[in-house]
Amino acid sequence: MSSQRIDKLISYTLRFLNDVAEKWEAILPHDNLPPSFGNTGKWVALVQEILVGVEDQQKANNLDPDDPMILEAIESTKGAAKALSAIFRAVADVSETEREGCYEEFLRKPGSVGIETVLLQLLQGPHELVNECIIEATVDQDHQLAEAINELVVSQPPTPMNLTAAVAHHGKGDIFSNASNGRQNINKGNGAQYISDRMSLDSKPRS
């Protein structure tokens, strides 16, 4: 049953990522949107490659389908892929000059988060599985994951508008989060971390 669930999760995730890739291509250039939109294409392709590799490893019986970390990581990746698809759908059907405004309007919706946060979640699951040697990946893929995550961490936009926001981290690995009151939260090693605080999301994303 676990192997079937992994297959289904990967299938749904790849479907969302294929939709993102199509929308990403359709809205070129991304000049009026935050820089992370431009980088989304290569990062989505990277996650797609890794997930296809996971499928191959499972077919070869090289994975433990009952490992809860695999299911948890892929479930998180699927959620991020779905959220990323929603972001691109919000800006795909308007003219180039209207996209920035549509993205800002999307961010004002309850529960919405910026593309940087969504991309971090998308990459974090595969990165944890590779770091723990639970799935196989090339050295280049590992390096690309680490570089992308580092780039996204430093590109988080400032936010003057007071909105309730939360940071969630499940599984293994380090997570660094800065709250609006100046507190920095660091989670190292195993376990889960959930931080809820008043944070600000910039009403005008960086261009």
181 lies in some domain: no
Domain count, the chain: 1
206 lies in some domain: no
Mean pLDDT of the chain: 82
183 lies in some domain: no
CB 197 within 8 A of CB 179: yes
Question: H/E element holding 186?
Answer: strand 184-187
The answer to whether the Cα torsion of 110, 115, 116, 117 is positive or negative is positive
pTM: 0.75
Domain ranges, residue 21: 2-158
189 lies in some domain: no
CB 9 within 8 A of CB 74: yes
98 lies in some domain: yes
Dist CA 59 CA 44 (whole Å): 23
195 lies in some domain: no
Strands 175-178 and 161-169: unpaired
Per-residue b or e along 83-107, where b marks 16 or more CB atoms closer than 10 Å to that residue's CB:
bbbbbbebbbeeeeeebbebbeebb
Find the mean pLDDT for residues 105-115. 96
- pLDDT tens digits along 31-72: 899 999 999 999 999 999 999 999 999 999 999 888 899 999
